Amino acid sequence: MIDTNSVSAKFKKITGINFKNKDLLIEAVSHRSFKNDVSYQRLEFLGDSLLSFFTSEYCFKKFKLFNEGELSKFRTSIVNRDNLSHVFTKLNLSEIVLLDRKSFKEDIPPSIREDVIESLLAAVYIDSGIRNAKKMFKIIIKNSHSVSEEFFAKNQLQELSLFHFKVLPEFTTEALGENLFKCILFVNGKYYSEAQGRTKKECEKKAALIALKKLEKEFA
């Protein structure tokens, strides 16, 4: 017999979110192998869309100078299976997942970990609305894989340059050979950095990170 109060208490301890409808929480953590009357599949369907929406909104508001491609790349880094499996592990959600452990010789597969994160997000949304759903989303973001400094460097440098000089940085990029590029970076007409990379984007991000650190020291 499932101890719904125990599952609910563990989830609240992990996330700080209390479920009014504990049966909905049980549905969100039930894999079909558990031979329960319900499974998380329908909730996972909704949660997938909610996660994509919340992540898109988060990117749109946070990274004001990112283009569509950069926004999509960051969104993918959050909603992909590898990251959601990582979040599942960091939150230790295996404590509350209901499945037939004998059916899985090793640990819980990444596909199930991903599904549970999405189904829980949907269940929170249904149980207590968008405010708590966004709280759950923030927990997902906080426990996601860290993104490299270079990913944000160009955007942050552009914002800093606009704030202090009212102009965007200038990137001069040239090909040095096959799969090798060089970027020289100027801010407000002044040389700040240069870098090499296998692609134009890679060397620009590297140069931006170097310049960003110099600018931050100047205006510290």
Q: What is the pLDDT of residues 17-70, one digit of tens each?
A: 999 999 999 999 999 888 778 899 999 999 999 999 999 999 999 888 788 888
Does 107 participate in catalysis according to the annotation? no
Residue 165 confidence class, pLDDT cut points 50, 70, 90 = very high
Phi, psi of 198 (to 5 degrees): -75, -20
Say if residues 18 and 132 touch (Cβ distance below 8 Å). Answer: no
CB atoms within 10 A of CB 80: 14
Report yes or no: 182 and 176 within 8 Å, Cβ to Cβ: yes
> In terms of C-beta distances under 8 Å and separation of at least 24 residues, what long-range contacts does 187-195 make, across chains too?
187/157, 187/161, 187/211, 187/215, 188/161, 188/164
Given the residues 44, 115, 118, 204, the one annotated as active site: 118
Q: Is the pLDDT of residue 108 over 70?
A: yes
Up-side HSE of residue 100: CA atoms within 13 Å toward CB? 8
pLDDT band at 148 (very low <50, low <70, confident <90, very high): confident
- The predicted pLDDT at position 80 comes to 95
- The CA-atom distances, in angstroms, between 43 and each of 27, 51, 118 are 8, 12, 7
**Tokens in use for 64?**
């004001």
pLDDT in tens, 176-216: 988 899 999 999 999 999 999 999 989 999 999 999 999 98
What are the backbone angles phi and psi of residue 64, rounded to the nearest 5°?
-70, -20
Nearest to 40 by CA among 113, 141, 137: 113
- Residue 149: is its pLDDT beyond 80? no
Count Cβ atoms within 10 A of the Cβ of residue 171 and give its class: 0-12 exposed, 13-18 middle, 19 or more buried. Answer: middle
Say which CATH architecture domain 149-218 belongs to.
Answer: 2-Layer Sandwich (3.30)
- Phi, psi angle pair for 102, to nearest 5°: -70, -20
The reply to whether domains 4-142 and 149-218 share a CATH topology is: no
Catalytic residue among 44, 48, 114, 115: 48
Q: What is the pLDDT of residue 34?
A: 83
Output the six-digit token pair for 104: 């899985």
- Asked which of 16-20, 70-74, 139-143, 184-188 is least confident by mean pLDDT, the reply is 70-74
Residue 1 has pLDDT above 80, yes or no: no
pTM higher than 0.85: no
Average pLDDT, the chain: 92
CA-CA-CA-CA torsion sign (155, 157, 163, 169): negative
Fold of 4-142: Ribonuclease iii, N-terminal Endonuclease Domain; Chain A (1.10.1520)
Domain edges within the chain? 4-142, 149-218
